[in-house]
Structures are given as C-alpha cells and as structure tokens.
A = this chain, B = another copy of it.
C-alpha cells in the first residue's frame, strides 16, 4: 500500500488523510499467470494498479486473433476505460502475463472520491495526460516506422521489458504476426 501512496505523492502534494480516504477503497488481489481480471462482454467494474508483475489488455479480432492493446507493469494502471466510463460491456480482456499483485478500485468509488478530493482529481488528470502522450506517440510510430523499425525502437527503449513477455505478445502489441517478428529479428540491422 505504501507503493501506491508513494506513486501518488510523486505527482501531487497530498495529505495523508486524503491518501488514506483513497487507499481505504483499494482492495489487494493476487493474480496467477494467465488468470483473467476482466473478460470481454462482461461488466467492467475496476481500475487495476499493478504493485508487482505484469498484465495485458487485449481483444480478439474478427479473424479470432488476439490483439494486445496495452501492457501494464509495476506502478501503472490498466483498465477498459470505455467500459468503465460508458458502462458498456467490456470490449477488452485483462489478463496476467506473470504472477502478479494488483490493487483494484471500483469506478463508482473513484467517482465519489473525485467529488471530494482535488488532489485525486489532479493525480488522475496527470496520469491521463501521460497516457495521452503515450497513445499519441504510438500512433505516430505506427505512421512513421516500418515493422522492423518499430521492433528495434521498442527493443532499444524497453530492454528490461523484453525479457518479461513472450515474443509473440510483443508482436501482437506492435501490430504484426509472430512470424514476421521472428523474421525481423533474424535480419542484420
């Protein structure tokens, strides 16, 4: 729990009282590798904060292939925002990629906290700003780079992360097939 408190303190100047009002609503959950926190079509209720481990969100495309939308590792959030905000059935699945520990908070509790805490509002605004910038960059990469370049860029910028997920998941996240990723890796740079 100190984990997330410190994380929030890095973004906003927040009193212990406000922080405790928040952490009081959090629930710790352990998830085994391959276990699901959310399945598509069901009602999504929680935001998940990764204390330890690694999660992924993905959907199944028309051809039945898994497409990874996001990863989350330590000190990051993952959820199906569309489902949480618009109260629609989840389009995404959220699944553990390693044995993990998460803190979860129900969307409704969070909304209630936003009514009373400027700092929490501010914290989540700042998280969303970062997410916005990351999403923007991702589109830019997709518009600007070949598959080979995307792979090399990802590898060079996330060397530690490369060790944590199977290659075929990275291929899915980058938007291509495992066969193609394998080919790209085999080529000289």
Contacts and interface: CB of A to CB of B under 8 A. Distances in A.
Interface of A: 59, 61-62, 67, 69, 81-82, 85-86, 91, 114, 117-118, 121-122, 124-125, 128-133, 135-140, 142-144, 175
Contacts of A131: 128, 132
A118 B144 CA distance: 39
| A117, A121, A131, A135: residue with the most chain B Cβ atoms closer than 10 Å | A121
A133 B85 CA distance: 9
Looking at chain A's contact residues, the main secondary structure is helix
Given A118-B118, A118-B121, A124-B125, A135 B143 contact: no
Nearest to A125: B125
A117 B122 CA distance: 10
Contacts of A137: 82
A47 B119 CA distance: 22
Contacts of A81: 129, 132-133, 136
Contacts of A122: 114, 121
A113 to B, nearest CB: 11
Given A118-B118, A121-B121, A121-B125, 11 more contacts: A69-B139, A81-B129, A81-B133, A82-B133, A85-B130, A85-B133, A128-B128, A128-B129, A132-B135, A135-B135, A143-B175
